[in-house]
Amino acid sequence: MKIVFISDTHGDHKEIKNIPACDVIVHAGDISALGSQQTIEYFLEWFSSLEQAKNKIFVAGNHDWLFQRNPPLAKSIIPSNVIYLQDSGCEIDGVKFWGTPVQLPFFNWAFNIPADEIIKYWDMIPADTDVLITHSPPKGIMDISRRGREHTGSQSLYDQIVTRIKPKIHCFGHIHEGYGIQVVEDITFINASNLNEDYAVANPPILIEI
């Protein structure tokens, strides 16, 4: 299975060039700048029309307010050929995906959950997940914010990933300057942020075959 990973397009999705043909394309959140219905519809129209990908999956990010403020409305505008994951999963050709938008508190944006409460969301992730999609990173994995010069990821997420879940791939975004691939404990971690820390489109889609 060929999977393309993108993230943190913030409304500039049409500037993402050369998306390769794939079985699945995954967007790890922040599809919009401020989460209005109009900007989310703008993204979904583009995402659903991508002919390169047979299947389309995305999670919301901290900028995608509509999914937190009005979930029924947000879900009602998702095209039929697009899969939205919010603490839920799907299976495509035998590969199991799970997605969640939750993250540690970050400037009071959407889906912010305190550290002592966020663990219950990680507990929901099935141990047989092949591809885990979260908006934010685990602690210590491509998660350093240059603005704060500190690790922003979740320690409890990292612990669950390497000891219990052990997915083949964990994809996220959120920290734009962390873009890249890192393999830890035989798990391929992907920070798929397409925009850099200056919110300019700078990073290409990442293609992985499993």
Domains of the chain are 2-209 (3.60.21.10)
Mean pLDDT, the chain, whole residue set: 95
Interval 120-133 mean pLDDT: 98
pLDDT at 148 over 60: no
How far apart CA 152 and CA 203 sit, in angstroms, is 21
pLDDT-based confidence at 107, cuts 50/70/90?
confident
pLDDT at 209 over 60: yes
- Asked whether 56 and 34 are in contact (CB, 8 A), the reply is no
Q: Where are the alpha helices (DSSP H) in 11-70?
A: 37-48, 66-69
- Asked whether 86 and 99 are in contact (CB, 8 A), the reply is yes
Q: Which helix (H) or strand (E) holds 6?
A: strand 2-6
- Asked whether 204 and 39 are in contact (CB, 8 A), the reply is no
pLDDT recorded at residue 147? 66
pLDDT in tens, 29-74: 999 999 999 999 999 999 999 999 999 999 999 999 999 999 999 9
